[in-house]
Amino acid sequence: MLAPFRRLCIFSGISLVALFGANAQANEENTVEAKNTTPTAKEYAKCEHNPTDDDVSAAQGAYRAGQVSFEEADYQRALLYWEDAYRRDCTADKLLLNIARAYELSGDNRAALNALQTYVERNPETEPESSVRKRLAKMQEKVEEEDQEKQEQLALAASQQSQDQSSSPEPEPNLQFSPAPRRPLWPVLVTGGGVVFASTGLLLLLRADKVAKDAGCSSNPITGDQFCPTDEASDKASSAAQVANFVGIPLFVVGNLAGAIGGYFWYRTWTSGSPSSKTSHAPVFVPVVSSQFQGFALSGAF
């Protein structure tokens, strides 16, 4: 009564060990697959020892569990069970045929070829016309075709990449624009001061003419002598004329000179270094004196 119960306990323990070992191996293989997507053939260790009874029992339990997974089309789990079974009992070479079939159905022809080659190497008495040899030859053809397709895809990808590189437009040069140089401010201030002085002097000159006209005075255009109807009118015209002569004329002259000098240096400093300095002109104040107008004119291009 105890013998069947003992065997049942051993079989259950071995199945649990195989299951945990299979899960651990599955996690390890998933990690490796995540690092390298290229499938690699599994190497099977040489059989250099005879399995014990416990090893045989464990291998049988793993084989049955793998058979259930295979019938459920869970080929990856079936492979884990069967490879664990073959590791425990390395004399069960026919497990390699099951392993090869599971690899083939899962799409890993290279691993299936490796399992068949291992079986033939460990069973050299296999007849050349046997089904195993035929399966091995077909699997070799499939692997060779896959390798050839991969090489063609790599060559096509390399040619497309070279064409893309040759047809891609050249990168535009990285143009670096230097910041505009700082312009001195003093020519602007000198020009502005000259405008103020010239305007003040011009106003004083115009005021003297207006005072003389309001007083009824007239001047000889040839000699410049002034004639007024009364002494009071003469005093007013003379006072306004003195202010115009001693203040207005100097301010007007100095203002025009300052405007001209400031405008010249404004042009030289504000247009130097610019691409259009040879064809563009900065604003310049030019003094203008005529019989009807005395002052300055603003000329240049903006």
Tell me which of 31 and 149 has the higher pLDDT: 149
Q: Is it the case that residue 72 has pLDDT exceeding 80? A: yes
Q: How far apart are CA 245 and CA 249, in angstroms?
A: 5
Closest residue by Cα to residue 265 from 279, 247, 248, 282: 282
Q: Which tens digit of pLDDT belongs to each residue from 213-228?
A: 787 777 766 666 667 7
Confidence tier at 6 by pLDDT (50, 70, 90): very low
Question: Which residue pairs from 225-231 have beta carbons closer than 8 angstroms and sit at least 24 positions apart in sequence?
Answer: none
Tell me which of 42 and 252 has the higher pLDDT: 252
Q: What is the mean pLDDT of residues 107-124?
A: 91
Q: Which of 39-43, 113-117, 176-180 is the least confident region? A: 176-180
Of 98-112, 165-179, 261-275, highest mean pLDDT: 98-112
Share of the chain above pLDDT 90, in %: 28
Residue 298's pLDDT is: 59
Residues 6+ apart with CB under 8 A from 273: 181
Residue 170's pLDDT is: 63
Could you give the 3-state DSSP secondary structure of residue 282?
coil
pTM flag (> 0.85): no
Q: How many Å separate Cα 36 from the centre of its chain?
A: 28
Residues 6+ apart with CB under 8 A from 96: 44, 86, 115, 116, 118, 119, 122
Tell me which of 244 and 59 has the higher pLDDT: 59
Of 89-98, 195-204, 228-237, 275-284, highest mean pLDDT: 89-98
Of 138-142, 190-194, 269-273, highest mean pLDDT: 138-142
Q: How far apart are CA 196 and CA 252, in angstroms?
A: 9
Domains of the chain: 7-150 (1.25.40.10), 186-299 (no CATH)
Residue 2's pLDDT is: 38
Tell me which of 60 and 179 has the higher pLDDT: 60
Q: Which of 13-17, 61-65, 154-158, 192-196 is the least confident region? A: 13-17
Q: Is it the case that residue 300 has pLDDT exceeding 60? A: no
Q: What is the mean pLDDT of residues 206-214?
A: 79
Residue 5's pLDDT is: 38
Residue 221's pLDDT is: 67
Residue 12's pLDDT is: 44
Mean pLDDT, the chain, rounded, equals 75
Residue 69's pLDDT is: 94
Q: What is the mean pLDDT of residues 32-53?
A: 68
Q: Which of 198-202, 241-245, 279-283 is the least confident region? A: 279-283
Residues 6+ apart with CB under 8 A from 65: 15, 18, 19, 81
Q: Is it the case that residue 8 has pLDDT exceeding 60? A: no
Q: How far apart are CA 233 and CA 80, in angstroms?
A: 130
Q: Is it the case that residue 117 has pLDDT exceeding 70? A: yes
Tell me which of 297 and 254 has the higher pLDDT: 254
Tell me which of 291 and 256 has the higher pLDDT: 256
